[in-house]
Amino acid sequence: MRKASILLTIFCALVVSSSAQYSMDFGVNLGASNYVGETGGSGTEPKPWLLDMTLAKTNFNFGGFYRMNFTRNIAAKMSFNFARISGADSLSGIKTQIARNLSFRTDIIEAVITAEYYFFTMNDLSRASNARIDFGSYIFAGGGVALYYPHAQYNNEWYALRPLQTEGSQNAYDVMTVVLPMGAGANFTFNKKLKLGIEFGYRFTFTDYLDDISTRYAKEADLPFTQSVLLANRSDEAYARGEAGLPDRRFFNPGTRRGNPDTYDGYFLAQISLSYTIVSRNSFSRARYNSIINRRRKRTKF
């Protein structure tokens, strides 16, 4: 991460120093968020990637950003976002997940830097009116970090899951993960000042614990608190509801599979943004521009 930040800084400095003009914009965004992982699911069989999202568990996100446009096609953006994701096995159509009966809600705070490539732009769409409207569509990719805080509800009370170590102390996990955002977006710029945009982005992470589920059921002796025992295995609640077709209870004994450690969790953000644009010249271009003007004035005879 440190090397990537250094390379991005050097790249930005080189591009700015060679550009006659650049623009920047800063603003806010608001949108919806969802999660892809071991909890829930959208049908009776697991589906690949984004198709397995549970729309009923769509939550919200909001944040702010600062973007530097180096050329017509290249920009870099720094974003800070808060996002909430959640999932529940009770919404799945898969009987083993219904019987597992786990659920969670996770708040995420992320800081990411992305590079944007504008593959299609149109200037001054409304040439018949006084208002200038520019359009651009882009793809982006980058890197960053995210803090995540999984919780679960039990008897109408929310419990923080990380300190409870629901898969045993040997499977304790960190509060932070690296994230790799990528996606696409588009924006309209009005009179070169206000920019209205929409963006769809997926965050690949390097943790399988956004939902507090990854490996196997731990023995009660390996669980540090009473709440850890209550929230580590909640299959008894599913069987108590009397739903037909649930698998044998031994599927949820200590040592049996609780999650899937072979894949990482991820989350999806759909955002609408509003920003204010500032157009400026860098010091290098001003000095070069002024020297050219001065030379021209010296050659001009009146």
Classify residue 214 as exposed, middle or buried by CB count within 10 Å of its CB (0-12, 13-18, 19+).
Answer: buried
70-117 confidence digits (pLDDT tens): 998 999 999 999 999 999 999 888 899 999 999 999 999 999 999 999
- Total-model pTM: 0.84
Q: CA separation (Å) from 233 to 56, 163, 221, 264, 270?
A: 24, 16, 14, 21, 33
The type of residue at 38 is E
Could you tell me the CA-to-CA distances from 265 to 58, 109, 192, 204, 218 in Å, in that order?
16, 15, 39, 7, 21
The pLDDT tens digits for 134-156 are: 999 999 999 999 999 999 999 99
Question: Where do the domains of the chain lie?
Answer: 27-299
